[in-house]
Structure 1
Amino acid sequence: MSWSAVLYILLGASAGGFVNGLAGSGTALFALGFLLIVLDPVSAVALVTLMSVLTGLQGLWEVRAAVTQNLSRLLRFIVPGLLGVPVGITLLALINAETLKLVIAILLIVYGGFFSFRTNLPRFERRTPVLDSGVGLVGGVLGGMASLSGALPLIWCSMRPWPKAETRAVLQPFNVAVLGTTALMLWSRGAYDRDTVTAFLIALPASLLAAQVGLMVFRRISDTMFRRLLIGLSLLLGLGILIRVLI
């Protein structure tokens, strides 16, 4: 592997690790742009999926108290999400994944663009167990179809006026669970070949270190600032998906 390839892998790992540590989501958005320069799409997705899971474990430890205190709420997202992954993989053969990505990108751009420039943030306060489960299920389906498991939960959680630890205690475990399942399925299909494993061993230290830097920033921002961060991330995620679809 050339030194330039190593550099791009390290840049992608650092960018993805930092945003994972900061927000608990969005690793692929910031990492894939670098990784796709030197890796084929399957290897890049396999690498960023496994990287998201392992760096996400640090974020899980950060909000472990909030996870245990709100375990029933978390399970409303995770259980349907895991059930949705194989459904999404099955539907992939019937639905055009690029069209689906385009629809999701537009949704994220409209939502993120609208609320990024408003003084008042959305406040959806009442308990919605059925809707929570629906968001988790659709997130799992989107993960299986187009590797977009975090898109809908990101929007949904940014609408809730929860403390930042509670918000992250939904997003981080959900992403780790769904992406962990995806990584196992990719492994069963032979995605983790020698080149991918080599790239992963290069990326992992940088990703873990950058995630720690992101966690340091997370600890210092307010609950409101964290919600604004998620809304801004929705906009960036939508733009990133749109650009990849159009190119």
Structure 2
Amino acid sequence: MGIEFLAVLVAGAFAGGVVNGLAGFGTALFALGFWLQVLPAAQAVSIVVVMSVVSGLQGLWVVRGEIRSNPGRLARFLLPAVVGIPLGVMLLSLVSATMLKIVIAAFMLLYGGFFLARRSLPCFERSTPVLDSLIGFAGGVLGGAASLSGALPTMWCAMRPWPKGETRAVLQPFNVVVLGITALFFLLNGLYTPQTVLLMAIALPVTMIGAHLGLAIFHRLADDQFRFLLIFLMFTSGAILALREML
């Protein structure tokens, strides 16, 4: 492992950890933007799911009260997601590294555009259990395929009139459970080779430091500041990744 390789590995681990600590999701969106430059798609995704789960455990403690106050809402998202995970794992073997990079860049740009337009979008105040379940299922598929389980649930939850803490009380445990199960599938499929475990051992401490920093920022941000930071991070990283692929 050269210096440049280690620098990319550490940068991705730190970026993913900060975003997970800050928003409760997004480890894959930011870490894979770095790691897919130096690692095969399957190996990069297998590492990032573990990083997502471990860094997400800190966030679970922060919103433990909100999780206990409405467990049924979380279940509507989470149970269908468990069904979708195996399908996503099967799709992973069919996705090339280039295609995965393009998908990740598109999600980053879509996220940014979504939050820019959020105030003009409808606000669903009534209960929507069927739509919640469908979103959860799609999140499970994306989690198994590319560790992107939080993408669609985040967009959907942002359209609900829930405070920041309640939104995170859905997204954080959703991602931890979905990606934890995904990691078990990867383990059974033999993706955690000695080299992959070594890379995880290097990335994990950096991810935890980043997640701790992200949590500290989360507590200090107002809602408007939080939204602006997400928009900036999504557009900047997505545009850079998309530009690299087009060039």
Q: What is the TM-score with the length of structure 1 in the denominator? A: 0.84
CA-CA distance at 1:2 after TM superposition? 3.0
Partner residue in 1 for 2:129: 129
Q: Which amino acid counterpart does residue 176 of structure 1 have in structure 2? A: V
Q: Which amino acid counterpart does residue 75 of structure 1 have in structure 2? A: A
CA-CA distance at 1:142 after TM superposition? 2.6
Contact 1:135 1:153 in 2 (8 A): yes
Q: Which amino acid counterpart does residue 182 of structure 1 have in structure 2? A: T
Contact 2:21 2:215 in 1 (8 A): yes
1:28-71 deviation digits (Å, cap 9, x = unpaired): 12112322333332221111110000000011111111111121
Contact 2:107 2:151 in 1 (8 A): no
Residues of 1 paired with 2:200 and 2:104: CA distance? Answer: 29
Contact 1:107 1:238 in 2 (8 A): yes
Residues of 2 paired with 1:228 and 1:193: CA distance? Answer: 39
Q: Which amino acid counterpart does residue 37 of structure 1 have in structure 2? A: Q
Partner residue in 1 for 2:214: 214
Report sequence identity in percent: 55
Q: Which amino acid counterpart does residue 49 of structure 2 have in structure 1? A: T
Residues of 2 paired with 1:130 and 1:233: CA distance? Answer: 31
**Number of matched pairs:** 247
Q: What is the TM-score with the length of structure 2 in the denominator? A: 0.84
Partner residue in 1 for 2:175: 175
Partner residue in 2 for 1:152: 152
CA-CA distance at 1:3 after TM superposition? 3.4
Residues of 1 paired with 2:38 and 2:106: CA distance? Answer: 28
Pair 1:78–1:229, CA change in 2 (3 A): farther
Partner residue in 2 for 1:82: 82
Residues of 1 paired with 2:16 and 2:107: CA distance? Answer: 23
CA-CA distance at 1:246 after TM superposition? 5.8
Partner residue in 2 for 1:161: 161
Contact 1:154 1:230 in 2 (8 A): no
Pair 1:167–1:143, CA change in 2 (3 A): same
Q: CA RMSD in A?
A: 3.2
Partner residue in 2 for 1:68: 68
Residues of 2 paired with 1:241 and 1:85: CA distance? Answer: 26
Partner residue in 1 for 2:47: 47
Pair 1:68–1:228, CA change in 2 (3 A): farther
Contact 2:150 2:175 in 1 (8 A): yes
Gaps of at least 5 residues in structure 1 are none
Contact 1:186 1:192 in 2 (8 A): yes
Residues of 2 paired with 1:24 and 1:13: CA distance? Answer: 15
CA-CA distance at 1:245 after TM superposition? 7.3
Partner residue in 2 for 1:10: 10
